[in-house]
A and B are shown apart, each in its own frame.
Chain A
Amino acid sequence: MAAPLLQVSGLRKSFGSQEVLSGINLEVQRGQVFTILGPSGAGKSVFLKCLGGVIAQDAGEVHFDGRLLSASNPASVADFRHRCSFLFQSNALFDSLTALENVALPLEQTTDLSSREIREQAMEALRQLEIDTFASRSPSQMSGGMQKRLALARAIVTKPELVFFDEPTAGLDPLRRNAVFAMIARYQRQLAFTALVVTHDVPEALVTSDRVALLEGGQLRFNGTPAEFSASTLPVVTGFRDSVEALGNTLAALQTPEK
C-alpha cells in the first residue's frame, strides 16, 4: 500500500484533568474519504483542531505526506497549511467581508494570482455551491445553510489536497445534508482531494465514505470500511448504531399520529 497522506500516532490531548483524546492512531490514504463518527462531545472537533495545529496536542505525532508536523519545523507546517484546508464547525466566516471577499481571501493572501483570476476563481467556487447570486452579501445576511456552503466554497477554492470537514452538515436541512455529502463525494473525485470528515450523519457517511472510524471515550474504537461498520458486532459499534437508530425511531414515533 502507498504511504498514507496523513498519519497520526499516539495523539493525546487533555484539558485540565479531562482527557479528551487518549492516544489516537490513524492513517488516511490519498484520495480517500475518511469519516470519523462519534457522539457529541467525544472530542471530534478537538481531534481535527489538533491535526490542523489550531490547538497543540500533549503527545503524539502527525505526519503529512511523510513529513512530521511540529512547531520546530515551520517549513513543513507552512507546506501543510498550503495544501490543506479546514471547514470549521462554526464556519468561521469573516463577517466584515462579503461572500465573494471571503472566498477570495485565501487566494489573495497566499497566491500570486492577478485580481481578475482571483475574482474568477472565487466566483466559480460560489457558483459550484449555488450561492453566486449572493456574492456581494455579508455572511450575516445569509441563512445558516448558505453560510455553510460559503464556508465550503472557501475551503475548496484553493484546490487543497486534504480537506478537514468538521460537521459539514450541522444545521442543514435533510435535502441540503444529502447535497453536501454528494458534493463532497463529487468534488472529492473531481478535484481529487482527500477528505477527513467528522459527522454524526451515519447513513450518509456510510454511503459516501471509503473508510469510517468511531471515536468514543478518547479512542478510535473502530476503523474499517462502511460495509464492515454496518456488519460489525463490536459492542461499541452496535451501541452507537442502535443509539442513532433509536433516535430515528423516536423521531418517527413523534411524527406518526397516535392511534
Chain B
Amino acid sequence: MVGVIGRNTLDLVSRLGEFAMFVVASFRGAMGARRLPRRIVRAFYEQGALCLPVILIVGIFTGLVLGLQGYYVLSRFGSEGLLGALVSLSLVREMAPVLAALMIVGQAGSALAAELGIQRNSEQIVALETMGIDSHGYLVSPRLLAAIIVFPLQTALFVAIGLYGGSLSGSVLLGVDPGIYWSAVDRAVEMADVRECFIKAATFGVLTISICSYYGYNAHRCSTATGAQAVSASTTRAVVLSSIVVLAVDYAITSFLV
C-alpha cells in the first residue's frame, strides 16, 4: 500500500518535472527559432480566428443568463439597479477567463494535441530533429507565445459580448433602464478586477496550451495505447486535464489575489 502510494507519488513528481522541462524547452526554443513571427501568426489564427464563433456564442448566452438570473435575484431585494455590477463583476472576475479558456481548449487545444500526436506518429517530429530544427521551437513556442496574447484578447471579447448579452436580457427584455445598467457596469469594475482577469487569462493560456502540446508531442509514450488510439487517448487526456487545471488554478489565483 505504502509502496503503491510512494511509486505513484514519484511517478507524478517525475511527470511534473518532465512537463516543466518541456515548457522551459518550448520557451527557450523561441530564441533559436527562425521565421517565428510567421508561425505565431498561424497560431493566432488557430487560437484566435478559429475560436471566434464559439467565444461569441458562449459569451452572448452567458451574458443573457447572467442578466436573467441576476435580475430575478436582485429584484427580490429591490436592487435591479445593480444588475450591471453583478453581470460585469461575474464576467470579469470569473466567468470570462474560465469559460473563454475552456472554449479555446475545446476548439484549439484539442486540435493542437491531435495534430502534434499525428506528427509524432508519422515521425514528422523526429524528422524535424534530424534536420537540425528544434521541434519545440518550431511547433510549440509559437503557440505558447500566441496564447499569452490571444487568451486575454478572447477573454476581453467574451466580457464585452457578455455585457451586451446581460443588457439584452436585463434592459431590453426585463426593463432595467439601460443607463442604469451601463453606469453600474462602469462603477463596479475596477482596475484590480481587470488585472485579475488578464492574469488569469494569460495563465490559463500558457498552462492549457502547454498541456495540450505536451500530450500531443508525447503521444508515442502513451501508456495505454499505441498508434491512432494513442493520439485519441492523448487528445482526450489533454483536454480533460486542461479543463481541470483551468478550474483548479482559477480557484488558486482567486484566493491568492482577493
- The residues of A with any CB-CB pair to B shorter than 8 Å are 52-54, 78, 81-82, 84-86, 88, 90, 92-96, 105-106, 108-110, 158
* Nearest CB in chain B: distance from A236 CB, A: 31
Contact with A along B123-137 (1 / 0, CB 8 A): 110110111110000
**Are A54 and B132 interface neighbours, CB within 8 A?**
no
**Are B122 and A92 interface neighbours, CB within 8 A?**
yes
What are 28 A-B pairs at a CB distance below 8 A? A53-B129, A53-B130, A81-B131, A82-B132, A84-B130, A85-B130, A86-B130, A86-B131, A88-B123, A88-B126, A90-B122, A90-B123, A92-B124, A92-B126, A93-B124, A95-B122, A95-B124, A96-B115, A105-B131, A105-B133, A106-B133, A108-B34, A109-B33, A109-B34, A109-B138, A110-B131, A110-B132, A110-B133
Whether A109 touches B35, Cβ cut-off 8 Å, given contacts A54-B130, A81-B132, A85-B130, is yes
Whether A78 touches B132, Cβ cut-off 8 Å, given contacts A92-B122, A95-B122, A109-B138, is yes
Whether A108 touches B35, Cβ cut-off 8 Å, given contacts A90-B122, A95-B124, is yes
**Are A54 and B129 interface neighbours, CB within 8 A?**
yes
| Chain A residue nearest in CB terms to B35 | A108
* Nearest CB in chain B: distance from A219 CB, A: 25
* Nearest CB in chain B: distance from A148 CB, A: 14
* Nearest CB in chain B: distance from A150 CB, A: 12
**Are A81 and B130 interface neighbours, CB within 8 A?**
yes
Option from A82, A84, A86 in Cβ contact (under 8 Å) with B127: A86
**A81-B130, A110-B132 given. 9 additional CB < 8 A pairs?**
A53-B130, A85-B130, A86-B130, A92-B122, A94-B119, A96-B115, A106-B131, A109-B133, A110-B133
Assembly CA distance A95 to B138 (angstroms): 15
Assembly CA distance A90 to B138 (angstroms): 21
Interface centre among B119, B123, B127, B138 (most CB of A within 10 A): B127
Whether A88 touches B35, Cβ cut-off 8 Å, given contacts A81-B132, A109-B138, is no
* Nearest CB in chain B: distance from A30 CB, A: 20
A96 partner residues in chain B, CB cutoff 8 A: 115
A88 partner residues in chain B, CB cutoff 8 A: 123, 126-127
| Chain B residue nearest in CB terms to A112 | B34
Contact with A along B148-185 (1 / 0, CB 8 A): 00000000000000000000000000000000000000
Whether A52 touches B130, Cβ cut-off 8 Å, given contacts A92-B122, A95-B122, is yes
Assembly CA distance A65 to B196 (angstroms): 56
What's the interface size class on B, roughly?
Answer: 10 to 19
A85 partner residues in chain B, CB cutoff 8 A: 130-131
| Chain A residue nearest in CB terms to B118 | A95
* Nearest CB in chain A: distance from B223 CB, A: 15
| Chain A residue nearest in CB terms to B125 | A92
B122 partner residues in chain A, CB cutoff 8 A: 90, 92, 95
| Chain A residue nearest in CB terms to B134 | A109
**Are B124 and A94 interface neighbours, CB within 8 A?**
yes
Contact with A along B101-124 (1 / 0, CB 8 A): 000000000000001000100111
| Chain A residue nearest in CB terms to B115 | A96
Please list the 8 inter-chain residue pairs (A to B) with the smallest Cβ-Cβ separation, ordered nearest first: A81-B132, A92-B127, A92-B123, A86-B130, A109-B133, A106-B131, A54-B126, A52-B130
| Chain B residue nearest in CB terms to A160 | B131
Contact with A along B66-92 (1 / 0, CB 8 A): 000000000000000000000000000
* Nearest CB in chain A: distance from B255 CB, A: 42
A95 partner residues in chain B, CB cutoff 8 A: 122, 124
| Chain B residue nearest in CB terms to A93 | B124
A109 partner residues in chain B, CB cutoff 8 A: 33-35, 131, 133, 138
B123 partner residues in chain A, CB cutoff 8 A: 88, 90, 92
Assembly CA distance A37 to B156 (angstroms): 62
B130 partner residues in chain A, CB cutoff 8 A: 52-54, 81, 84-86
* Nearest CB in chain B: distance from A97 CB, A: 10
B35 partner residues in chain A, CB cutoff 8 A: 108-109
